[in-house]
A and B are shown apart, each in its own frame.
Chain A
Amino acid sequence: MTSVITPAPTAGRSTPPGGGGRPGEKKRRRRQALVRSIPLLPAVLLLALFLFGPVVSSLYGSLTNTSLTGSTAANSDFVGVQNYVELFADPDFPKSVLLTIVFLVASAIIGQNGIGLTLAVLMQSANRVVRGAVSTIVVTAWVLPEIVAAFAAYAFFHDGGTLNEMLGVFGVQGPNWLYTFPMFAVILANIWRGTAFSMLVYTAALNDVPPEITEAAEVDGASGWKRFTLITVPMIRRSISTNLMLTTLQTLSVFALIFVMTGGGPGTDSTTLPLLAYQEAFKFGELGFGTAIATILLLVGALFSVFYIRALKPEVD
């Protein structure tokens, strides 16, 4: 796809390889290119201000001892990497990283992507009524604002909530999900909330797979599973990569859902990195320390993005 959009190399058109244009021509073209890029300036400025700015300020903030109250609120000092040193020595930190990865892998990569793709594939062969009903139900969770979805999930998993009431009908005494299995509850809630997005992306991608290719494979005797893994998946590879990246970044930053459902507890049993950052920065007033955690979160997101881009090579066809 990229090769279609990118215009043919312009350099070769006006200047033969090896150079040799009129003197001054190069200079003039450079100036022209510069003038032509001026309209981009506002966009670049805005990007720098609103995207790059916060990243830099977060990085800087994480190198200071600034806090919400006390003397360091008025005059914060540059403390170098001290926040990071303390962070890596903090026993809560590795646990929080582990919980974040469990949350990410279980709810985003396996849950949202897996179920989203399965639903999209199944819906291809379903009739219109089923398709309409299923997609309405699934998309409802996606349409809800995060905080509303969080309260709904809280009401569902709460000790006296919908789930345990339903189990009670069958004579089963359900556990207090939010307390006994906090990670399980928030993972299920996040799958419920996010699957619609993946399903929509994959439905669109599957519609772009030319039916003649699958038909040709079918004629060659490929089974359904083989057609899926050898034809469909490679052809929607780019969508998979994009979707994995989007859901990963979204899930890494999930805060309200967990905060409303468990508050990161009990103890630290569902404190993922965003909750840990919130706790340190706004509950305990350690802004610098909290920002350091936020910066780590940024790095984790960047690492995953690079991994997806590399592993799934969306640009090669």
Chain B
Amino acid sequence: MKRYLGFAAGAMASVLVLAGCSAGGDSGDESTTIKVAYSKFGNFTQMDDHMKAVKEQYEAANEGMTVELVPIEALENDYFTKLALMNQSEATAPDVMYEDTFKVKSDAEAGYILPLDDYIADWEDWEQFPENAREAGAGDDGKIYGVPMGTDTRAIWYNKQLLADAGVEVPWEPTSWDDILEAATAVKEFNPDLIPFNIYSGKGQSEGASMQGFQMLLSGTDDVLYNSDEKKWVVGSEGFIDSLGFVADIYQGELGPTPQQALDKNVNTTVNAEWLPQAKLAMSLDGSWVSGTWLETGTTPWPEWNDVMGVAAMPTQDGQGAGRTSMSGGWTLAMGAKTKNADAAWDFISLALDEENSLSYDIAASQIAVRTDVGTAPEYVDSNPTFAFFSELVADTHFRPANTEYAKISNEITVAMESVMTGQQTPEEAAEVYDTAVAGIVGEDNTTTKSD
């Protein structure tokens, strides 16, 4: 008898263990809780403020509903990873998520987010979103997966006083890469303790390095990353090597931060919260949103920022084309595919991005407004003296390839940047490694050597 008891107990134990493994997500039909996942890291706390405010409004308007905020405190790249991992399980998948426009297509294909077309059809506010803004949230199948919160452009922020002291004419209007290198050298000669020019680079900064750094250079050459006519990725281009060459000139020429400073995971926070306000850095290639850090609502209020800092458009390599260039991206709100209450999730999204809430977010986070009514509101235009400059750059801006493979290829760009900035490879060698990697990702047939 005893041994049967023992057996029964053993069997029970294993059943319990197995049951424990399968009992994951909770059941319940219409969930009364919606989970909202977004990024909160370093200087970027505006989204957190915004979501907290919308949570209050939403809960007040919908009795019985609870909004569970899930701020993810991680570097941008880790944010994408954490979000993807959350999306894999029903128990953790968010109902609403803060989604980068360049991730929309691949996440739609991964089945992480839902098309919003049915909801948008009945949404009056959608008229306020111009066609190109709508495109930003579209998937490969043409359906809308994300509602844009704002967009951005990129340019060079510079310290007027430091440049003037170094003998550079202010307002500074560089017309070629050489102008930048010249100004940087002048700053270096004026005071060797200053960091002349910052360009994000390396794997740690991931998309920031690829977009704010590399693609701001490449888009000013005669070459492109992706040939949209042939629908093929460009390899072996001169522009790619030249862009890496510029990164090498800055880092190996000691015109930027030291490579170890630039590879620090927190350099992005350091640049905008310390180096610029403390006048340790003369020029920084960065986004239109940077001034949000210095507003009263930001993490590092700096009332004098507008007197100290100037902005200059990024020149093309030799002044070709329009003579200036920029890159644009932006973020959206998207609905999680594993949501148990899609209607509630949509209500939250549409509330968070109505006129009033978009206005307050775009001002606080220094976003270029996408909603027409917000973009033309005097309250918005007057709130930040750089808005006019950055909005005007939209005329010569570029977008990242709207393509599901982009995210992987962007990673390879940061690998090439890091090996060049640390001097481990020459620009030519790094470009060759990149070409091989691209062929590995998209297949030899989907690459071309022609940029147009």
| Interface positions of A (Cβ within 8 A of B) | 35, 38-39, 41-42, 45-46, 49, 68-74, 86, 91, 159, 176, 178-179, 263, 265-269, 279, 282-286
Contact = CB atoms under 8 A, between A and B. Distances in A.
Interface residues of B, number: 42
B109 A71 contact: yes
B404 interface: yes
B53 interface: no
16 contacts: A39-B3, A41-B7, A42-B13, A45-B14, A46-B14, A49-B17, A49-B18, A49-B21, A69-B80, A69-B110, A69-B407, A73-B109, A74-B111, A178-B260, A265-B202, A284-B408
B203 interface: yes
A86 B407 contact: no
Contacts of A73: 84, 109-112
Interface stretch (B239-247, B307-315, B358-366, B417-425): B417-425
Contacts, number: 104
Interface hub of A42, A70, A86 (most chain B Cβ within 10 A):
A70
**4 closest A-B pairs (Cβ-Cβ)?**
A73-B110, A42-B10, A179-B260, A74-B111
Contacts of A72: 110
Given A45-B14, A178-B260, 13 more contacts: A39-B3, A42-B10, A45-B17, A69-B106, A69-B107, A69-B110, A71-B404, A73-B110, A73-B112, A179-B259, A265-B418, A266-B263, A285-B84
Judged by DSSP, the binding face of A is helix
Given A70-B106, A86-B440, A38 B77 contact: no
B28 interface: no
B84 A267 contact: no
A286 B106 CA distance: 13
B433 interface: yes
Given A176-B260, A266-B263, A39 B10 contact: yes
Contacts of B81: 68, 282-283, 285
Contacts of B112: 69, 73
B103 interface: yes
A71 B10 contact: no
A39 B408 CA distance: 51
A221 B404 CA distance: 77
Contacts of B77: 283
A91 B424 CA distance: 13
A69 B10 contact: no
B46 to A, nearest CB: 25
